[in-house]
Amino acid sequence: MNQWYCSVCHEIINNENKPEICEICRADKRMIMNQQEIPQSLEQVRDLARTKLKGICAAYPSCDGSFDKICQREAYGKPIGLGGAGQGRSFRANTEALANIQLNMSVLGDHFEPDTSCSFLGIDLKFPVMASSTAGAQKYNDALDETMFCTSVLKGSKEAGTIGLRGDTWFYTLDDNPSLNAMKACDGYGIPIFKPRSQDILKKLIERAEGYGCKAVGIDLDGCGSTIMARQGQPVFRKTVKDIEELVKFTTLPFIAKGIMMPDEAQKCVDAGVKVIAVSNHGGRVLDSTPGVATMLPLIRKKLGNSVTITADGGVRTGYDVLKMLALGADAVLLGRDIIRAAVGAGTLGVKLHLEHIRKTLKKAMFMTGTKTVKMADSRILFNRN
């Protein structure tokens, strides 16, 4: 008898041959591994992802949208894959903006253990890093089932001590919605971010999310330019402040506006009752040639003041990057591509291993900059030439 491991629910299955399905969580054999295959390290998760994402993403140590990476080099005129829109300038701007910020190394003072804990919308988290809303992994070489992708992200995030967000795309419908299927499977411990669909459809999706006990809901307002959604009969729209206000009033849950890059628009969303401003350019996937998120974040924080919750995502690859985003004004930081790769590579286990690694490097970054708590991260730890 052989032992098999379900990378979504961690069940050990005794069977002569590889099981077709995990009887516990219904994950299919793409998520089931033999004992020797179970990754022990992030490197092994990346190796698994690299094989499964062949021709789409090589899970490079530096994921920056440059032309020497297959996502950008081969994308021209092809589906976007994991790359950025157009020439990938916004994707690169995200990583470049972070690279251009430097940390002040501080070594004097009392010895301490950095405290990474924080609270996000009243939820206690071990560290201020979350899985960003992403969707569509199933379409990459048919590497995994989309609901299992979403479940892996939500479960892996929870096991690492944080919470996962989930996205929305053209093959998510009211009847079969992988994000909401996963929310249900995880007792609502997650946050769905919907595309800016019609108000009526959004209300139905929000009602479902409420019913499953989700912790918040939101829209990626920057998803309004998606042409594939319309081609697939699921049109998306620009939203007015009134539309947002209507949705905020409609739901009992805190509302997140994602894809905000302009201080004035951030303020308008706050005035409409939005609880979280998610500063993001969608990983550079919706408009080429925007500034990097790390460039716009301090301007948006300055405009909104300290009482509004702000998240940031785009190009964050390490705990050092996380600390920079916190110091620039984010309350929490989101990871996109890295979490997709981790889930494709090794399901829940991959996501957990990835997030735990980020927490470790965040702790190191905090220690070496003399940042005792997350709240203490501010511009004083950033190098300023003047």
Residues lying near ligand FMN in the complex (CB under 6 A):
82, 94, 132-136, 167-169, 193, 220, 258, 280, 282-283, 285, 313-316, 335-337, 340
Alpha helices in the chain (DSSP H): 42-52, 70-73, 89-99, 146-159, 178-185, 199-212, 227-231, 241-250, 263-271, 293-304, 319-327, 337-368
What is the longest distance spanned by two Cα atoms in the chain? 68
Quote the least distance from Cβ 80 to ligand FMN, whole Å.
8
Dihedral sign (CA 229, 339, 334, 337): negative
* CB nearer to ligand FMN: pick between 32 and 340: 340
The CA distance from 343 to 159, in Å, is: 13
Quote the least distance from Cβ 109 to ligand FMN, whole Å.
33
The CA distance from 186 to 213, in Å, is: 10
Quote the least distance from Cβ 194 to ligand FMN, whole Å.
8
Quote the least distance from Cβ 77 to ligand FMN, whole Å.
18
**Amino acid identity at 318:** T
User: In 80-101, which positions are buried (b, 16+ CB within 10 angstroms) versus exposed (e)?
Assistant: bbbbbbbbbbbbbbbbbbbbeb
Judge contact between 280 and 316, C-beta under 8 A.
no
* CB nearer to ligand FMN: pick between 53 and 366: 53
Burial of 160 (0-12, 13-18, 19+ CB in 10 A): buried
Quote the least distance from Cβ 193 to ligand FMN, whole Å.
5
The CA distance from 321 to 365, in Å, is: 9
* CB nearer to ligand FMN: pick between 6 and 332: 332
The CA distance from 19 to 25, in Å, is: 13
Quote the least distance from Cβ 342 to ligand FMN, whole Å.
12
Quote the least distance from Cβ 154 to ligand FMN, whole Å.
14
Nearest residue to ligand FMN, by Cβ distance, number only: 336
* CB nearer to ligand FMN: pick between 9 and 183: 183
Quote the least distance from Cβ 107 to ligand FMN, whole Å.
30
* CB nearer to ligand FMN: pick between 310 and 335: 335
* CB nearer to ligand FMN: pick between 39 and 314: 314
Half-sphere exposure of 339 (CA within 13 A, CB side): 37
Judge contact between 206 and 268, C-beta under 8 A.
no
